[in-house]
Structure 1
Amino acid sequence: MAYKFEIYEDKGGKFRFNFVAPNGETMFSSQGYASKSSLKNSIESIQENVPGADVTEREDD
């Protein structure tokens, strides 16, 4: 199994996705989107832009 995005509609009628690892574990979940098309645009953006993302550590106050 490969990594995947699982799209679903929550109880409040918002569209969300879970990013799921090959072992079936959810790695992260999205915010709620009013439309499925906006959600899919977000997924497409992640797929195109994440490979070069920097990793930083935040210092909390």
Structure 2
Amino acid sequence: MFEIFKSEKNNKYYFNLKAKNGQIILSSQAYESKAGVENGISSVKENADDDSKYERKTASNGKFHFNLKAGNGQVIGSSQMYASEAGMENGIDSVKTNAPDASVKDITE
């Protein structure tokens, strides 16, 4: 499920993609408007099954994470940190499986 929320700190909109167990598997960048965050969710749904859109990264602390990019190369979502490369690949598989048909819950209303 995608969950739309608004930060009280900066008054911007964000989304999290959550797995069925409630764990966050992908988090968005900040959006100025609700329409922007909704477009971001649509972009995740469109790009989730394209493996070439995933940027796999290793942090300076040795942990693994990934970004999902839109067709224009802009990052539309980032993962949490994973202890292993296999864990990161499982996270990518989870986005591919869950995002295309995920429902959207707006908790800003």
TM-score bracket for the superposition, by shorter chain length: 0.7 to 0.9
Identity of aligned pairs, percent?
40
**What amino acid is the match of 1:38?**
G
- Give the drift of 1:23: 0.4
Which of 6, 16, 28 is the equivalent residue of 2:65?
A: 16
**What amino acid is the match of 1:13?**
G
Cα RMSD (Å): 1.5
TM-score where L is the length of structure 2: 0.49
**What amino acid is the match of 1:9?**
T
Partner of 1:38: 87
Misfit runs of 4+, over 6 Å: none
Which structure shows the higher strand fraction? Answer: 2
TM-score where L is the length of structure 1: 0.84
For CA contacts below 8 A with separation 6 or more, give which structure has more relative contact order. Answer: 2
- How many residue pairs align between the two structures? 58
